[in-house]
A = this chain, B = another copy of it.
């Protein structure tokens, strides 16, 4: 537990520390935090603010932490409130006082803003890959059943015969729009906030463009006050996720009803159904049902994120939302 130094008479209260702790959640940002720091170290070296030896020491320490994150051997210390503090403390433990030089020309605010954008980029990449996989699965299924005709419905009532393939390809259209929305969110988030400081810029002449390029950003943010406070990418991504889930929920709902023997259009694979010991006649399409519930969760996250954005935000809690939002991919 850190003290805020001489001006503060007392140590932080234990329950205050508990209340503010986010390491259980933002540990997910570890690799992004390290990547951002490595790029910053290169910038400090270029600017002559670190000697080659210092840069090597800090870089080596960060890479060794990254190795331990990657192989799962790292253990974060709940006494340090968040992932940023944990990485700093681990670094100091490994390389000693030179670790403190990593602070030069960077504030926690532009560091967190950078981590968030890197994290979103990774998650959106994963989501896009999954969406493309689903599109291919739907197209394959459409090809296999290219001649199958089914009743098209409006208002849940049979309306006109349609090709089953045509019905499936409607979802491909939806997924294409969904992917476009995620790509547009990423496009707007693709600028490096590093160099924005706490809100008024950094006190050192660092080459922001070079650092941005090293991190794979297409450019740098233009206004430091906006850059450190901008959580639009989070909300925009969750909005895209909510629409995606609405589409998946619609598909899931169809599967659930079509499984009902009064329809009998589809029969879920054994491996994806659950039964009931009391009712051996049952064959429940559980996964499809779960998707509908997950949709409700993403909607809730969107409300949370927008409500936070409306007020004045706290970094830690907004990270929680992002972590939640990733659920749309892994669940």
Interface residues of A (CB under 8 A from B): 4-5, 7-13, 16, 19-20, 103, 107, 109, 152-162, 166-167, 169-174, 177, 180-181, 184, 188, 197-200, 221-226, 229-230, 232, 235-236, 239, 242-243, 246, 249-250, 253, 256-257, 259-263, 269-287, 289-290, 292-297, 299-314, 316-318, 320, 331
Contacts and interface: CB of A to CB of B under 8 A. Distances in A.
Contacts of A293: 308, 311, 313-314, 316-318
Tell me what chain A mostly uses at the interface: helix, strand, loop, or mixed.
Answer: helix
5 contacts: A12-B272, A19-B331, A156-B289, A180-B184, A262-B263
Nearest to A189: B177
Contacts of A109: 154
Contacts of A261: 157-158
A296 B300 contact: no
B280 A7 contact: yes
Contacts of A249: 310
A154 B302 CA distance: 24
A200 B243 contact: no
Contacts of A279: 159-160, 198
Nearest to A239: B239
Nearest to A22: B290
A299 B299 CA distance: 11
A243 B309 contact: yes
A316 to B, nearest CB: 7
Given A16-B271, A173-B222, A307-B295, A160 B317 contact: no
A294 to B, nearest CB: 7
A286 to B, nearest CB: 6
Given A7-B275, A181-B236, A317-B294, A160 B304 contact: no
Given A9-B270, A167-B225, A188-B177, A310 B307 contact: yes
B309 A246 contact: yes
A317 B299 contact: no
Given A152-B200, A177-B232, A306-B242, A157 B282 contact: yes
B272 A13 contact: yes
Given A180-B188, A250-B310, A260 B300 contact: no
A290 B270 CA distance: 37
Contacts of A271: 10-13, 16
Interchain residue pairs A-B with the least CB separation, the first 5: A300-B304, A293-B317, A4-B275, A296-B307, A13-B271
A200 B161 contact: yes
Contacts of A232: 174, 177, 243
A258 to B, nearest CB: 10
B10 A157 contact: no
Contact of A275 (B8, B11, B303): B8
A311 B295 CA distance: 11
A221 to B, nearest CB: 8
A302 B287 CA distance: 23
A116 to B, nearest CB: 15
